Amino acid sequence: MYQFSWKQVVIFLLSIVLLSSCAERVPVGMGVTGKQGMVVTAHPEASRIGLMILKKGGNAMDAAVAVEFALAVCYPAAGNIAGGGFWVTRTSAGKVYTLDYREKAPMAASRDMFLGPDGEVARGLSSETILAAGVPGTVDGMLKAHEKFGSLPWNSVIQPAIDMARNGFRITKAQAISLNSIQTTILERNTTKPAFVNDSTWSEGDLLIQTDLANTLERIRDFRRDGFYAGQTAQYIVDQMKESGGLITLEDLAKYESVWREPIEGDYRNYHFYSMAPPSSGGVALKQLLGILSNWDVASMGHNTVESVHYMVEAEKRVYADRAEYLGDPAFTEIPVDKLTEPRYLIKRADEIQKERATPSDSVFYGKIVLKESLETTHYSIADQWGNAVSATTTLNGGYGCKIVVKGGGFFLNNEMDDFSSKPGSPNLYGLIGNEANAIAPEKRMLSCMTPTIITKDHKLFMVVGSPGGSTIITSVFQTVLNVIDHGMTMQQAVSAKRFHHQWLPDIIQYEPEAIDTVSVMRLTSMGQHLKKTGKIGRVDAILIWPNGTMEGGADPRGDDTAKGY
């Protein structure tokens, strides 16, 4: 038998210690890491710009503003200056602020504006025409955020986006495919050829130069709010409305204001979370889902097993039913947030769930309480060396909004009006049902599923998370949170894990290939669940802070999403 020398034994034991130390520091499946800062966005160019701002000494909020404008250039399918969104930010002092820069209905909007002569919803009117455009909120939101939190000069955070628009950037393979798919539609809906139309088909690596957009961004740089909501750009928007039959006026633009709101917050296991309040439904829904699931030991169920899928889906059915009935713009309707999220109510909803049998959606109703989103959204998560963090979700609604480019301005208009209930009880672009609380009204903000979220543990930053995906946003964030907290995944593992989704109506569990194995599908079907394999669900971009202070970026492999840290 071979005899080991004492030196070999010592070296072997030291190797075990070193390997154990490394394993604790860098778990298997870990994403991009950094100690000083982390930026995770939907596009490598936006992530590059965000990291550049952090390295210049900017805080997470400076980087977030720079990323928002960068996405308007390099990710035109969802990044925008003529859309809107929601910001959740946590300062190094532990204070959380949430900003609502959601679009609003124009003053000329009316409750039945998308109904035909027969009183039914006119197909495409709320999503494929300029009538679908709400009054944009992004620019005002970024100005307010920078005024409150910015540490670098305004010019320095917007200039990288201007340079990229003027000099161009190389499009990705996925972007080439996407742009080629909408060439005909863009030409049909615009009277001039915008920068997004190529003389031949787009190819990976082609340079996309947007001179009109660069000029618009320079006006915003130089004149701030008046560079968009007044002056030349505002006139371009109104001229486009007149040409294409839209409703937005100079007065609509002048009156728009983003709003600071109190966050939705709550506890799950030993963690505290902060998310967005209405008119986003995301925070309320996430709090309900986590509250219902807290009644069971999710970790022991296992990831995407028959048991865990069943309980999660049954909770989702009930939460989306509540969403349809109660949620809307708090300026227009009384929203019983406290009652929808109180523990007794959530325990009652949990008690409705049968262990071995699905509840058909037509038997699931909104909870009885006593009263007193495209898949082409985008999300970014940012954290800096001081402990500041931003979780932000922004959108045009459908991919490239209504696909009408403001002539002279160089940017797409949104189609967010589709997020209203065109006719209470009728589904929108994503099949979501809404009732009177989300009916159209002048200057009202449409309901959203956006769920930008920040989670802390022991009063320290733990996770920054969010996703695009229309109606699947809430469930994508929900699953990602459970993946980390209950299933012990790294951030990258949690983001990459296969997903499923249920939104009450239609009564179908949509699931990604390999999300649920064949045997589990058969078992769930026997329990009364209805399943349908679908394409990609969500594109989560998130950051996890490990106990030693290392930041791990989780960039969703479903897109061009990129994490960059240092």
Q: Point out the residues that are catalytic.
A: 377
Q: Which residues, 6+ apart, have CB-to-CB distance to 279 below 8 Å? A: 100, 102, 327, 328, 329, 330, 445, 446, 447, 448
Distance (Å) of CA 198 to CA 83, 127, 377, 443: 24, 24, 24, 37
Helix, strand, or coil (residue 271): strand
Distance (Å) of CA 277 to CA 87, 263, 286: 11, 6, 11
C-beta of residue 439 within 8 angstroms of C-beta of residue 109: no
- Burial of residue 71 (number of CB atoms within 10 Å: 0-12, 13-18, 19+): buried
C-beta of residue 54 within 8 angstroms of C-beta of residue 358: no
Q: Which residues, 6+ apart, have CB-to-CB distance to 28 below 8 Å? A: 490
* DSSP β-ladder status, 96-100 and 259-261: antiparallel
d(CA 204, CA 207): 9
CA 454 centroid distance within chain = 13
Nearest CA-CA partner of 559 in 537, 534, 533, 532? 537
Given the structure tokens 């964030």, which residue do they identify?
477
C-beta of residue 494 within 8 angstroms of C-beta of residue 484: yes
- Burial of residue 290 (number of CB atoms within 10 Å: 0-12, 13-18, 19+): buried
Query: Which own/partner pairs from 113-121 qualify as long-range (CB within 8 Å, at least 24 positions apart)?
Result: 113/440, 114/417, 114/422, 114/423, 114/440, 115/422, 115/423, 119/423, 120/423, 120/426, 121/422, 121/423, 121/426
